[in-house]
Amino acid sequence: MKIGIVGCGKRFINVYFPILEKLNHELFVWNRSSHKSQEFCKDKKCNVVTSLESFKNILPDLILCFIPSQYQYDILNCLQDLNCNILLETPANDKRILSLQNIGILEQWPKLPLEQFKNLIYVADLISRPYMVFNDGRSFDYHAIAQLRTQLRFPLPAYIKGSTNVFNNPGIIDASGKINLTPHDWTTGQIEMSNGSLLLYNFSYNCKSLLSIPIQFIRSYSTNGSIVTGRMKEIGNDYEFIDIRYQDKSTKEIKVCEITLERKDNVTFSLSLKKENITWVNPYGILQFDDQQTAIATIIDDAIKGTVYSYNNAYIDYACMQMIKTSGQQQQVIKVS
């Protein structure tokens, strides 16, 4: 497939190019500095694009944009005549872009292997869509909101309440054996959605380095079951915790699922509930893609097929996070109009 690249900075070069190279897509690279795009492409299987107008002749199947926020709207507007999806790097914080067509966002967190596996469970109707989701230190900022709203199927926020609290740290020995005196700086938020579902957010950038808080969770509660996933932090160890329970439709008994995880060297090959006949298989496992790379490859292939995480949804995620922070500062509930 033909993929247009708009902007070839460090994010594209270090994160995205190694993935695209392995996927064998034909790349057409434009940069505001033509010298930089020529320098990048000279020893790679890439084509230099000298102007944005040239994309009309190339007819790409997808365009990926890695451009500073102050240039995004004008450049995206120039690409509106192309009959393909355009994916923009996060964050989605420019209201003007909402008026443009076919704009998606490169939001990786809802496409991580574990999140794709959860979606399969919901689609199979083993467990109904949750009425409450709770991020407890596992994911951060608007990425966490995207992760949780995806499980809820993107309801709009109705009321938002947030708080920011700093707690003194008496001195805790961290993984390196040093005494960590970093304060706990927590941001918490509660979002009541327009459909009555509830999103809870709790995160501190300090918590991941403290052995006193060894595990971070995402909890999803449904009327007939629950999915709890997390990451345990120990000295020299970092692994996933998964607990899935559901009410059997015929016997009404609560069953605890037996989960099979095939993972090696940071590559998740498969996740399955064999008794329930639900299996997620990583189509990029043969390429040795880690979880982030798998999420990115999934986003790219989905966008080529026509499915994107819309800029509109990503804008709502970003706005929700900002309103959590504003509510905490003003110490009042925000009613979303």
pLDDT value at residue 265? 85
pLDDT value at residue 53? 95
pLDDT value at residue 214? 63
Place of tokens 């706990």: 184
Contacts of 10 (CB under 8 A, 6+ apart): none
Dihedral of the alpha carbons of 293, 319, 91, 165, in degrees to the nearest 10: -80
pLDDT value at residue 204? 87
pLDDT value at residue 185? 82
Place of tokens 């939001």: 107
pLDDT value at residue 182? 67
**Residue 107 contacts residue 90 (beta carbons within 8 Å):** yes
Strands (E), 152-277: 157-167, 172-173, 179-180, 184-193, 198-204, 215-222, 225-234, 237-247, 254-256, 260-264, 267-273
The structure's pTM equals 0.92
pLDDT value at residue 206? 76
pLDDT digits over 232-290, tens only?
A: 655 445 567 899 999 999 999 999 999 999 999 889 999 999 999 999 999 999 999 99
Complete DSSP assignment for 63-116: EEE---HHHHHHHHHHTTTSSSEEEEPSP---GGGGGSSSEEE---GGGSHHHH
pLDDT value at residue 188? 95
**Residue 16 contacts residue 89 (beta carbons within 8 Å):** no
Strand partners, 252: none
Amino acid (one-letter) located at 36? K
pLDDT value at residue 11? 94
Amino acid (one-letter) located at 73? Y
pLDDT value at residue 303? 97
Q: In whole angstroms, give the CA distance from residue 127 to residue 222.
A: 7
The distance from CA 155 to its chain's CA centroid, rounded to whole angstroms, is 17
pLDDT value at residue 208? 64
pLDDT tens, the chain, 337 aa long: 999 999 999 999 999 999 999 999 999 999 999 999 999 999 998 999 999 999 999 999 999 999 999 999 999 999 999 999 999 999 999 999 999 999 999 999 999 999 999 999 999 999 999 999 999 989 999 999 999 999 999 999 999 999 988 776 656 666 666 666 667 788 999 999 999 999 999 998 877 666 666 678 999 999 999 999 988 655 445 567 899 999 999 999 999 999 999 999 889 999 999 999 999 999 999 999 999 999 999 999 999 999 999 999 999 999 999 999 999 999 999 999 8
Q: In whole angstroms, give the CA distance from residue 117 to residue 150.
A: 13
